[in-house]
Amino acid sequence: MQIRKDPISMNWVIQEDGETSWPNLNACPFCPGQEALTPQTLYSHVNNKGDWEVRVTPHLRPLYRIEGELQRSGEGVYDKMRNLGAHEVVIENPDHHLRLSHLRDENVAQVLRAFVSRITDLKKDRRFRYVSVFRNQGRLAGQEPDHPHSQITATPFIPRRVVYELRSLQRYFSLKERCLICDIIQQEMAKQVRTIEWDDEFMAFCPFASRVPYEVWVLPLQHHHAFEEDLTTWERQLHFARFLKSVLRRLETVAQDYHVTLHTVPNLNAKYERTDHWRTLLDDFHWHLELIPIRLTSSRSYFLKDVYYNSVLPERAAEELRKLNIEPLS
């Protein structure tokens, strides 16, 4: 496998020669008792009975390999490199059928704690420019296997979507000396037309130019550039767990399948990072979660060349999600 860069769009593409399939397993490799089917345990939370509740292991079919060097090379105008990186799986709980939104608050907080721990650890590796956390919920989102899990990747490049965010947030800051996302939060909270849920620490809303019906962003009200440095106390992890669960359960009333992506600050320890270029990064970048639902009924929603078509007004989507009566699940 290699990573190729499209010189026009600046997109990095993981290029494989034929798709590798899942190893032929008789049992779910993420269920308790099957630990030997996964390479090794990178992180775990074990309860007082000695059983694990969260477990992180290398991916069975990794997109990236951790060993070796990057071997950047050119081919005329083209750039390519080895698929150096890390690809891990966060097994969110031992129960094969219990999805994240239905776990107990404490268990969701343990999953968040695992994210914090792994991101922090991977960012110590100076070869990696970015650490992504994402979650594919449901078959339409590409979830495989069914056992509830999230994925973490560490890459020698910054994903294009994040590069665009970094650029526009930096540009806005250089003009106004304010964080654009803080300004968006303030405006949305004042208008209350696209907000879904909020408390004194977090808020969720449908973005003004939502890419798909019921797109939702979840973010901290107080400015913070890094998820892994913001959610360090158990209290805050538990608070965010409770908040996130409620938002996910709202979303699940309109879409069973969705993607969750965490956008946190790039790796500031990375080898070639020009720190000068990112002088204002801590002030201009604001971490957030993006929730992208996939609905069968939204077949008219498509994107072509990155222009999206969305048939549900974000104001209407937010109103629907806000009005839902979600009973707290502890």
Nearer CB in complex with Zn ion: 94/213:
94
**Minimum distance from CB of 181 to Zn ion (Å)?**
5
Interactions with Zn ion, residue window 257-276 (CB under 5 A): 263
Stretch that binds Zn ion, among 18-26, 89-97, 124-132, 206-214 (CB under 5 A): 89-97
Q: Is 217 one of the binding residues for Zn ion (CB under 5 A)?
A: no
Nearest distance, CB of residue 225 and Zn ion, angstroms: 8
Pick one of 286, 287, 291, 292: the residue that binds Zn ion (CB under 5 A).
Answer: 286
Shorter beta-carbon distance to Zn ion: residue 238 or 289: 289
Total of residues contacting Zn ion (CB under 5 A): 11
Say whether 298 sits in a helix, a strand or coil: helix
**Binding of residue 239 to Zn ion (CB under 5 A):** no
Please report how close the Cβ of residue 165 comes to Zn ion at its closest, in angstroms. Answer: 5
Closer residue to Zn ion, CB minimum distance, 30 or 240: 30
In angstroms, what is the minimal distance from the CB of 132 to Zn ion? Answer: 11
When asked if residue 179 is in the footprint of Zn ion (CB under 5 A), the reply is: yes
The verdict on 225 binding Zn ion (CB under 5 A) reads no
Q: Residue 280 contacts by C-beta under 8 Å, 6 or more apart in sequence? A: 170, 173, 174
Give which of 156, 222, 163, 195 is closest to 10, Cα–Cα: 163
**Measured from the CB atom, is 163 or 182 closer to Zn ion?**
182
> Shortest distance, CB of residue 28 to Zn ion, whole angstroms?
3
Q: DSSP string covering 173-235, please?
A: HHHHSS-HHHHHHHHHHHH-SSEEEE-SSEEEE--TT-SSTT-EEEEESS--S-HHHHS-SHH
Q: Which of 82, 147, 149, 250 binds Zn ion (CB under 5 A)?
A: 147
Asked if 182 is part of the footprint of Zn ion (rule: CB under 5 A), the reply reads yes
CB of 292 to Zn ion, least distance (A): 11
Alpha-carbon distances, residue 208 vs 2, 219, 258 (angstroms) = 37, 15, 19
Nearest Cα neighbor of 211 from 320, 294, 100 is: 294
Instruction: Read off the tokens for 267.
Output: 């790796």
Name residue 69's beta-bridge partners.
none
Give φ, ψ of 281 to 5 degrees. Answer: -50, -45
**Residue 31 or 313 with smaller CB distance to Zn ion:** 31
The answer to whether 163 contacts Zn ion (rule: CB under 5 A) is: no
Question: Please, which residue, 182 or 313, has the CB nearer to Zn ion?
Answer: 182
| Pairwise CA distance, residues 310 & 314, whole Å | 9
Taking the complex as a whole, the smallest distance from the CB of residue 1 to Zn ion amounts, in Å, to 26
Is residue 169 within 8 A of residue 284, CB to CB? The reply is: yes
The residue within the footprint of Zn ion, chosen from 61, 72, 96, 139 (CB under 5 A), is 96
Secondary structure (3-state) at 123: coil
Nearest-angstrom CA–CA distance, 309 and 307: 7
Judged by beta carbon, residue 223 or residue 322, the one nearer Zn ion is 223
Residues in region 41-80 near Zn ion by CB under 5 A: none
**What six digits make up the tokens of 46?**
């074990």
Q: Which DSSP string do the residues of 223-267 spell out, in sequence order?
A: --S-HHHHS-SHHHHHHHHHHHHHHHHHHTTT-SEEEEEEE----
- Is residue 221 close enough to count as binding Zn ion by CB under 5 A? no
Residues of this chain that interact with Zn ion (CB under 5 A) are: 28, 30-31, 96, 147, 179, 181-182, 223, 263, 286
